[in-house]
Amino acid sequence: MKPATLADLPAGARGTLAELRLPEDDAARLMALGFIPGTQIVMRRAAPGGDPVVYQVDGTEIAIRRETARCLILEESA
Amino acid sequence: MTATLGPAAPPLSPPPPQPLVVALVGPPNSGKTTLFNRLTGLRQKVANYPGVTVEQRHGRIPMTGDRPVELVDLPGTYTLDPRTDDERIATDVLTGRMPGQVTPDAVLLVLDATHLARHLTLAAPVLALGLPTLVVLNLADDLQRRGGTVDTAALADQLGTPVTLASAVTGEGIETIQRFLTGRFGVPKHIALPVLQNLPACRAWATQLTDASAYRSPAAPIWTRRLDAVFLHPMAGPILFLAVVIGVFQVMFSVAAPLSDGLELLITGAGARLGAWLPVGFGRDLLLDGVLAGVGSVLIFLPQILVLFVLIGVLEDSGYLARAALIADRTMARVGLQGKSFIPLLSAHACAVPAVMAARTIENQRDRLATILIAPFMTCAARLPVYTLIIAAFLPNTPIVGGLIGLRAVTLLGLYLLGFLAALGTARLLKSTILRSDRVPFMLELPPYRWPTFRALGFRLIDRSRAFLTRVGTVILAVSLGLWLLGHLPRVNGETPALRESVAGTVGRAIEPAIAPLGFDWRIGIGLVTSLAAREVIVGTLGTIHGIEGGEESPGLQEALRQNLTPGGAAALLVFFAFAMQCVSTIAVVRRETGGWRLPALQFGYMLALAWVTAFAANHLVTALIAR
């Protein structure tokens, strides 16, 4: 089974970030915005049309595209 | 509001000592620029850093101590790990590796108090520099209003350097900052710092600090949640977005157009007064028709551009612009662009010059260049007089769609659409060829909504207008002077030659073979040359050629146009103006913003080729349709 990603979260759901499967530079940029492994992230809402998606991370709302969210792997929930 | 916008009294002699240089460092959205404006007033200088297009902002602080202080506003950055131009410049300035810039004597680290834990991450690399540092926890008013607290003394103790709460908006804490700037700088105490390259470690360090300084983060901004539920609603969101765009246009035309007309009257009146007073001769003509008309052609665009700046300022400061970019992203992504391109492309409907400058907000270099390259396709204000003249001369105002709208209005809308589609098509082409995306992921921070303040809007207005006038005013003035001279030289027996015999006329006749297939004769040719100064100049030129006074509404000029332009040629002229980059100011600003002639040359060539081919097609199509 494929691991769950940020893109799989429905609105209002939360998950803990495990890994950023992105090139190093892009991962560093996202990490500077708060997307650090171990952080809890809440899916707030999708923009009209479904993309990009607004996530609440480290107290801020950040929008990223679904293609990026699919590369952010969540920890398996127990 | 207690501080004033005006400059302070000039310092008295003796000559001022070397100023202290203080760098302003902070993440994006920390209110750094508002603080910079608050501290320096309008004593600012803006330039580009060498080799890149990142803005360099310097400002003097009014003298209160014994040494003047020069503040350097660095680009917003989350880390000092140089991955982007912005981050590299911030790092280079702070470490003294930036050519032409001395190592700062001290640092103001500006952080958003409402996002303290995340923003404190930047304190690790900044403190590691060992420079005297004041940590400014900005947006203190917001923190307090939403029930957040922080013990600044405890935090200062942890960081080994002074910390103050402040609000650039209300002015709270500004005195403390000024005291720091004019006092004696102390080097921060040595504290244990995390490994700087390890971002998660720095972030964990920041959490330890906030825990140790009794930081209580503010309650979630409920109003922002509520507003976003409306503005980002799947149905209401896009409708409100369209309403905002239409509203911007409506205000731009309904409020700014009368202002422009008023200014134009004023300038014409001044010209007439001056003309009656000055002795007749070459000098008078140069001053009136060259200089004054040149300055006038800049000034009449100013109201529209100022109104645009105010509107965009309100949208940006309130936080809506980030939501607009979010909504626009999906559509822009289809042509390979992104949501942040939306703002420049909206501005381009007033004038491409502020649009090209506004593209600075796009961090992704290729998206930024693509936006700059397509912006001049948008229908700017200078095209309207040309469109109005040709449409009025050649099309009857037949009501269509049951009398709801006239044929002329439909044609005008069609021309707007034509420019827009050409822009999208070109974006697609660029992004699949020379600007193929480097796949930097789209990231957009959505700041909380807030009321825009008059103070911030005023600053923005003055700052942007100053940039517009200095960058464009000088170019338009020089070009209109040059073109005026070309239209009045060589002198024949000490007299001004007929326009046909002037240098401009010679050029117009020389290019006739190239434009004849489009249905244009040498008269239009001269207009194409002179309208390089600004597109609407062609109206005046055609008036001069036909010896008719009056603007685009003049029936005499419309009649004269019908005499030497076929309907096919008229259609071709419309299309040509929609596509060709007939604007020296835009070329100049693109060269400035892209740091070379390569891109503006490519852009000019591409747009000219597209204009020629489509004008050729339009000429033959319309001629064939009429002959049938």
Beta bridge partners of B70: B21, B60
Is A23 within the bounds of a domain?
Answer: yes
**Mean pLDDT, residues B567-571 taken together:** 94
pLDDT at A71: 94
Q: Is the pLDDT of residue B282 over 90?
A: no
In a domain, A56, yes or no: yes
* CB-CB neighbors (< 8 A) of A7 in chain B: none
C-beta of residue B569 within 8 angstroms of C-beta of residue B518: yes
Is residue A62 situated within a structural domain? Answer: yes
- Is B118 within 8 Å of A29 when comparing Cβ atoms? no
Residue with tokens 């403390």: B176
Kindly give the pairing relationship between strand A60-64 and strand A53-57: antiparallel
Residue B71 β-bridge partners: B22, B59
Whose CA is closest to B119, among B145, B73, B155, B160? B155
Residue A45 and residue B232: Cβ atoms within 8 Å?
yes
Chain B residues with at least one Cβ partner in A under 8 Å: 78-79, 81, 83, 114-115, 117-118, 121, 199-200, 203, 217, 228-229, 232-235, 237-238, 326-327, 329-330, 333, 339, 439-446
> B72 in helix, strand or coil?
strand
In a domain, A58, yes or no: yes
B308-328 core/surface letters (b: 16 or more CB in 10 A; e: else): bbbbbbbbbbbbbbbbbbbbb
Q: What distance in Å separates the CA atoms of residue B507 and residue B500, rounded to the nearest whole number?
A: 9
According to DSSP, residue B18 is labeled: P
Nearest to A25 among B83, B203, B446 (CB): B83
Count of domains observed in chain A = 1
Nearest CA among B126, B193, B198, B200 for reference residue B163: B126
pLDDT at B230: 94
Question: B15: pLDDT confidence band, cut at 50, 70 and 90?
Answer: low
Give the pLDDT confidence score for residue B1 in this predicted structure.
39
Kindly determine whether residue B442 and residue A34, on different chains, have CB atoms separated by under 8 Å. no
Task: Select from B79, B217, B321, B326 the residue whose CB has the most chain A CBs within 10 Å, as the one to mutate to test that interface.
Answer: B326
> How high is the pLDDT of residue B65?
65
A1 located within any domain: no
Range of the structural domain that residue A34 is part of? 6-74
Q: Count interface pairs A-B at CB distance under 8 A.
A: 106
Let me know: does B600 contact B551? Beta carbons within 8 Å: no
Q: Which of A28, A47, A64 sits opposite B83 (nearest CB)?
A: A28
As a whole number, mean pLDDT of residues B549-559 equals 73
Establish if A67 belongs to a structural domain. yes
Residue among B584, B485, B568 at smallest CA distance from B531: B584
Q: Among B27-36, B80-89, B307-316, which is the least confidently predicted range? A: B80-89
Cα distances (Å, whole numbers) of residue B306 to B80, B255, B302, B357, B383: 36, 11, 6, 14, 18
Whether residue B438 has pLDDT greater than 70: no
Least Cα separation, residue A16 to chain B (angstroms):
14
More confident residue, B313 or B241: B241
Indicate whether B16 pLDDT > 70. no
CA pseudo-torsion sign B514, B515, B519, B524: negative
Scanning A11-50 for CB atoms below 8 A from B yields: 22, 25-26, 28-34, 36-38, 44-45, 47-50
Residue bearing the bigger pLDDT, B87 or B572: B572
Least confident residue range of B114-128, B217-231, B263-277, B493-507: B493-507
What secondary structure, in 3-state letters, does chain A show? CCCCEHHHCCCCCEEEEEEECCCHHHHHHHHHCCCCCCCEEEEEEECCCCCCEEEEECCEEEEECHHHHCCEEECCCC
Q: Do B446 and A61 touch (CB under 8 A)?
A: yes
Q: List CB contacts (< 8 A) between A34 and chain B.
A: 118, 203
Which residues in chain B have Cβ-Cβ distances shorter than 8 Å to A52?
Answer: 326, 329-330, 339, 442, 444
Kindly tell me if the per-residue pLDDT of B308 is higher than 90.
no
Contacts of B586 (CB under 8 A, 6+ apart): B352, B353, B356, B376
Q: What is the pLDDT of residue B2?
A: 43
Distance between CA atoms of residues B199 and B208, nearest Å: 14
In B81-215, where does DSSP find H-type helix?
A: 85-94, 116-120, 123-128, 140-145, 152-159, 174-182, 199-212
Least confident range from B76-80, B281-285, B414-418: namely B281-285
The CATH number given to whatever domain includes residue A46 is 2.30.30.90
ipTM of the complex: 0.93
When the pLDDT of each residue in chain A is averaged and rounded to a whole number, the result is 91
SS3 of B532, please? coil
Nearest Cα of chain B lies from the Cα of A11 at a distance, in angstroms, of 12
Binning pLDDT at 50, 70 and 90, where does residue B437 land?
low
**Residue B445 to residue A61, Cβ atoms within 8 A:** yes
Residues 6+ apart with CB under 8 A from B589: B352, B353, B356, B357, B471, B472
**B339, B364 in Cβ contact below 8 A?**
no
Contacting residues of A for B117, CB less than 8 Å apart: 58-59
Interchain contact, A62 vs B441, CB within 8 Å: no
Q: Is A33 within a domain? A: yes
DSSP conformation class of B149:
B
On the CB side of B276, CA atoms within 13 Å amount to: 5
Q: Above 70 in pLDDT, residue B4?
A: no
Q: How far is B56 from chain A (nearest CA, A)?
A: 23
β-pairing, A72-74 vs A14-20, is antiparallel
Average confidence score pLDDT of chain B: 85
Tell whether A17 is covered by a domain.
yes
Question: Taking CB atoms and an 8 Å limit, are B443 and A63 in contact across chains?
Answer: yes
Torsion, Cα B506 B299 B361 B110, to 10 degrees, reads 140
Give yes or no for residue A78 having a pLDDT over 60: no
Chain B positions touching A22 (Cβ under 8 A) are 441
> B233 or B309: whose pLDDT is higher?
B233
Chain A residues in contact with B233 by the CB 8 A cut-off are 48
| CB-based contact B217 A59, cutoff 8 Å | yes
Lowest mean pLDDT among A43-47, A74-78, B446-450: A74-78
What pLDDT band is residue A43 in, cutting at 50, 70 and 90?
Answer: very high
User: Which residues does residue B56 pair with via DSSP β-bridges, in sequence order?
Assistant: B47
Specify whether the CB–CB gap between A12 and A43 falls below 8 A.
yes
The SS3 assignment for B61 reads strand
Contacts of A16 in chain B (CB under 8 A): none
Nearest CA in chain A to B197: A28
